[in-house]
Structure 1
Amino acid sequence: MNERYRTLYGKLVRAYYSQEFEKTFEKMLEEDFTDTHEAREILGALCGVEIGECEDDYMFVQTLIDAMTKQRVREKIVQKVSVCPKDCENKEGKSKCQSVCPFDAIVRKGKDKWIDEKLCISCGRCVSACDAGNYMETLQFLPIASLLQEKKKVFAIVAPAISGQFGENVNLDQLREAFIKLGFTDMMEVAVAADILSLKEALEFNHHIKQEGDFMITSCCCPMWVAALRKVYNQVISNVSPSVSPMIAMARILKLLDPEVKVVFVGPCIAKKAEAKEKDLIGDVDAVLTFEELQVIFDTFNIQPQDLDGIPSIDYASKGGRLYARTGGVSEAVWDIVDQLFPEKRHLFSATQVDGMKDCKALLEELTEGKISASFIEGMGCKGGCVGGPKAIIKAEEGKRAVEKTAYDSAIKIPVHSEVLLGLLEKVGMKDLKDLTEEQSLFERTFE
């Protein structure tokens, strides 16, 4: 988020909580913009809601407030909000945004550019690449702000990559207190659901891999990896695990235990906002915030996680679930379980991992040509994995170190040894591990 948008967003959040939103918004329209269309595009993205066409500024403000109050979170995730003021083409004729787009979804239209929605996977690379701020992702805090103010049941579920993002020595207990100070009912680690999916995919490995040459593709973590499989390489879909992502799994668990709960995912990824809107997943996650967005909100309310005492919670997550945040983490987590439960399959487990969409596409090309001999294939759309996400606050290497410290310090090393986790599965109706792979289970999806 560039400095201009960061400032505007902070003002909007502060104004919403102080009951001065309408006055502040009208002042912004008058003082911070010269182009009405651009103002509506930018402010609509910052407020994160669907508004449609409005005749004048007054109706625009009123419609916006109504949409936020009713939590009409915007469907469109990445959008072009203003005309490119100047060319930034390189010698190959591509602009910065075009050069980073993994599926060539940014198309030139006269002197400007536009996003081809059929090709866009909402990865947000263009948002990060454009120095002028011509691209924005939809921010989703304001649509849930009224729920927080009213003390409704709203859970923050945090990605494993959160370790180290808000300070080198900030722990999960301090972050839990910070979320509760914002008005959330509680904070849960998505790593808990990652553990469950590791168990599920280990069971699938045992079922699917019978001999040398068999392989399976893990699907659960990265929406960019899943988008590549669905849009371009669907000939290998039959080898893809039908698992939902840890984000979706965690949300489904919470909503099954309490249907009144609202769930907000927090992570380093813009594409997760698009995943939450997919037809077979819609309704599981109510909003998605990025680490960058959360940092602005913490700053706005002067919440300093490093200064908090922290609120301890039961240690549900294992080493493996927390390692999902970096490249190779899924493979390591699944291997640990295969090694424990299916020792006769150890010799058949050969994992390969790839990160960054360029390398993901190259690996999938080789796979379709029969050039890959690995039996377990893991892909992550960002370099380094989730720790290298476009909205991470710290560098990928720092994030990796922080994640590994949290993971390797975990009291639980392998989820099959966690009585707490097995008890949680029983609460959601799964008394036997084999229930994890039943069709139409809580943790499965289709790729149609």
Structure 2
Amino acid sequence: MTEGTPTGSLRIAVIGTNYLGANTAAGMAEFGFDVIGVEIDEHRLKLLNDGKAPLYEPGLDPLLKKHVDSGRLRFTKDYREVADWADVYFICVGTPQQEGSDAADLGQVNSVVDMLAPLLTRPCLVVGRSTVPVGTSKLVEQRFHSESPAGIGVEIAWQPEFLREAHGVDDTLHPDRLVFGVQSAEAEATLRQVFAIPIAEGCPVVVCNLPTAELVKGGANAFLATKISFINALSEMADATGADVTQLADALGFDKRIGRGMLNAGPGYGGGCLPKDLRAFMARAGELGVEEVITLLREVDDINYRRRARVVDVTHELLGAEWVGRNVTVLGAAFKAGTDDVRDSPALDIAGRIQLHGATVTVYDPEAMDNARRVRPTLRYADSAVEACADAHLILHLTEWPEFRALDPVALKEIVATPVILDARLLLDAASWRAAGWKYRAPGKA
């Protein structure tokens, strides 16, 4: 095969089709391969076979619809349909945090092995994309070798994903790097065939062993979390001294050794990946006796959660001594803009904390309202940002949706009880809000 020209000769199965798997399945079909996704959840399965994503992700629905309609992509709940059909199996199931522990729950990964291994009768490549503790791939390999009729003909590779929610489609089709954790030249060649198009576009490839590939994703998330917590720690210093953390970040970002990306102060990181992956990384470091990593990352995690407490403290300061009888508007429920994901969302956590103090809290988010209601049913919810702000004594800007930056402070002043806004994302035009008569506050920003 000529690099950059998919032949479609490989048949690909994607096991697990939530966020990672749905993007992977659609991306592999876009690369020119016949793809079957395996999904055991009936509701999710129906959506996918109708060409609809089981979650909000810009651009994913049309890509799924395109390839479901073409016949290149379909979904099933029956592992027997992909056993001995596919040449490459991508494991894309979740690895959530264990109940009562920081460690990763590998139950879904083990379930894939339980279901797939006994059905494999010919040589194939099984590629893990799920984020797992280092050492997991060898345990998976041992089970496939002992439980599959194909035995050692089943080769294991690990190819970690680096998808950013709200950018998943682009990151799948145009990754900024590819990491191939492989044990043979044949496995590397197969992965190069699968990803021939992005490689031809110039995407760099790192070929390494299995433990290196497993550590790359955990290490990347740990570094990003550290970078976010570092700028948030500097934000506290800025607050104490009258400095401006946004200008500070701009100045730091010009240093090529540091870079500006992810150097944004705010209410902290959240979502379904970064927090639990950081804790799983610490848990695995503890098992390996690497105490220095635990000490560093525990403080990173602690700083992150202090940011949420800091927003609540400033809220109390702005409201005055009384919480009861005060109306607080929270703009944002998703952990970041561009997604409906509310897992470990700073916005919803802060909203819940303020409600517990006695204030009436009304939330609005462009995409995450249904998910937010399921997680925090006792909060009030509005159908628009303007409706949410009516009679508010304080507005909190907690998720960086563009529509919140487009709000008219002059018009909004006419419907609130008191014109006070706390810009925890540090993205609103402070001068415009102040000129319209608002009390504007942004932690760490002059």
TM-score with structure 2 length normalisation? 0.27
Structure showing greater relative contact order (alpha-carbon pairs closer than 8 Å, 6 or more residues apart): 1
Give the structure with higher Rg (CA). Answer: 2
